[in-house]
Amino acid sequence: MKKKSILIKEFHHKELVKISKVFGVPYGDLIQSMILYFKRTGINPIEAINENPATLVKALDKRIVSFLKVQERDILKPIRSESFQYSKEQKKQFHDLSEWVKDVVVKLNNYDKSRTHLINTELGKLEEKIIQQQKAFIEITELIDAKNKSGIKGTIKSIFE
C-alpha cells in the first residue's frame, strides 16, 4: 500500500488529533473511514450546515408534531364529531321509535278493551236468549205432560242446571 500525504492547516491537524484520540483510531484509518462515510451517505461535507444533530432532531420533531396536529384537525376531529352526531341521531331515532311503540301499545290495549267489552255484551245477549230458550222448553214440556207423569219436566230441568 502506498502512503500519501495531504496538506492541511495546523488548526485542522489539531482537531484531527483530538478526534482520533476520542475514537481511539490512527489518523489514516480515521480519514479512510471519513471518506467511506461521505461516499456511502452521499453527504457533502463542504455543503453541510454546521448544525448540532440534536437541533435537527428537534426541528424534525416539530415538523412531526405539526403534521400530527394537522391530521388531528383535518381527519380525527371531524370523524369524532361525525361519530358523536351519528350516535346522537341514533338515540333520537330510538327514542322516537320507542314513543311510537308506546303509542301503538296504548292503542292496541284500548282496541282490545273495546273488543272485549263488545264480546261480553254479545255473550250477555246470548245468555239471555239461552235462558229464554230453556224457559220455552220447560213450558213446552209442561204442555206435553201437564201432570209430569213421564218425568220429562224434571229431566229437562236437570239438563239445564
Instruction: Tell me the pTM.
Output: 0.36
Span 110-123, pLDDT tens digits: 999 999 999 999 99
CA distance 33 to 5: 16
Which residue matches cell numbers 229431566?
155
CA distance 73 to 125: 77
Span 37-49, pLDDT tens digits: 888 877 777 776 6
Q: Where are the domains of the chain?
A: 1-48
The hierarchical CATH code for the domain 1-48 is: 1.10.1220
CA distance 158 to 151: 11
